[in-house]
Copies of this chain bind each other. A is one copy, B any other.
């Protein structure tokens, strides 16, 4: 863990040189991380930012194949069983990725627990939650919800199919995290994606054009 943090510190210097803003995208399995990246990429490109993706999975290259087919640069990491990514994996992937001057999404392993504790040299921890998971998740996955610096609540277009109580969801989040902005989005139909893109663009400018 200490070694991971040390390596992350080194990575921060390297990524700053490449003018990369790293987004650690964390979510449950199936919350829609890859679809979200597909949806937000055009907005970021319109704002003049390049987009690259580091795909973390225990096995397979299903998501990387999807992204490359859509013209988005992506590098696959297979953790071989590990339940989260670490800074060493990110270092290897960044060496392979050619992206500069833009946003690199680190699509973490689908898991609301273990990824919260590992520093990946990210500039932003973005939690992608999902109405299909129910409105009570912040009460249970408190470490993840406390660690999140921004939250995008996905599949908002079908919230009514799940009796999703948005007030209860907000109450759960606010109990552990009063700072993270919450965006209601649909990666499928595009709702709210421009707002998340605006946040990332603004944060990129804060970092590199002070």
Docked-complex contact B109 and A29, CB < 8 angstroms: no
Residue in B closest to A57 when the chains form the complex, CB atoms: B140
Within 129-173 of A, Cβ neighbours of B (below 8 Å) are at 130, 132-134, 136-137, 139-143, 155, 158, 161
Question: Binary interface profile of A, 6-35, with partner B (CB < 8 Å = 1, else 0)?
Answer: 000000000000000000000011100000
Task: Give the interface residue-count category, chain A.
Answer: 20 to 34
Docked-complex contact A139 and B83, CB < 8 angstroms: no
Contacts of A112 in B (CB 8 A): 29, 110-111
Docked-complex contact A110 and B155, CB < 8 angstroms: no
Q: Does A210 contact B (CB under 8 A)?
A: no
Q: Does A180 contact B (CB under 8 A)?
A: no
Docked-complex contact A59 and B142, CB < 8 angstroms: yes
Residue in B closest to A117 when the chains form the complex, CB atoms: B81
Q: How far is the CB of A45 from chain B (nearest CB, A)?
A: 26
Known: A136-B62, A142-B58. A114 touches B30 (CB 8 A): no
Q: How far is the CB of A36 from chain B (nearest CB, A)?
A: 13
Docked-complex contact A59 and B110, CB < 8 angstroms: no
Chain copies in complex: 2
Contacts of A59 in B (CB 8 A): 139-140, 142
Q: In whole angstroms, what is the CA distance A139 to B57 when docked?
A: 10
Interface residues of A (CB under 8 A from B): 28-30, 57-60, 62, 81, 83, 109-114, 130, 132-134, 136-137, 139-143, 155, 158, 161
Q: How far is the CB of A23 from chain B (nearest CB, A)?
A: 20
Q: In whole angstroms, what is the CA distance A27 to B112 when docked?
A: 12
Q: How far is the CB of A12 from chain B (nearest CB, A)?
A: 26
Docked-complex contact B158 and A58, CB < 8 angstroms: no
Known: A30-B133, A140-B29. A83 touches B62 (CB 8 A): no
Contacts of A28 in B (CB 8 A): 28-30, 110, 133
A158's partner among B113, B142, B161 (CB-CB below 8 A) is: B161
A111's partner among B57, B81, B83, B130 (CB-CB below 8 A) is: B83
